[in-house]
Amino acid sequence: MTMNQMKIGSTAVVKRLDVCSGMRRRLQDLGLIENTCIECLLKSPFGDPCAYLIRGAVIAIRSDESSKILIY
């Protein structure tokens, strides 16, 4: 399952980041690393971007990036 498929209010754990090196580094700097617990808080009216609770911070991520983040 990928991060963009999460429902509002659901939680998951990051399994793997399948993104290029530049975006990978940026997501890791935001705290999005393997085995991190995340929660989907809000989705915009058109579904892009979505707000996630990651390590105590609310971060909005576009669906094209979140579709490359595998969760379980």
* pTM for this entry: 0.89
Which H or E run contains 46?
A: none
pLDDT higher than 90, residue 46 = no
List, for residues 17-42, the tens digit of each pLDDT value.
998 888 899 999 999 999 999 999 99
Please enumerate in sequence order all residues whose Cβ is within 8 A of that of 71, keeping only pairs 6 or more positions apart, or say none: 1, 2, 3, 6, 12, 13, 14, 15, 38
CA distance 57 to 20: 23
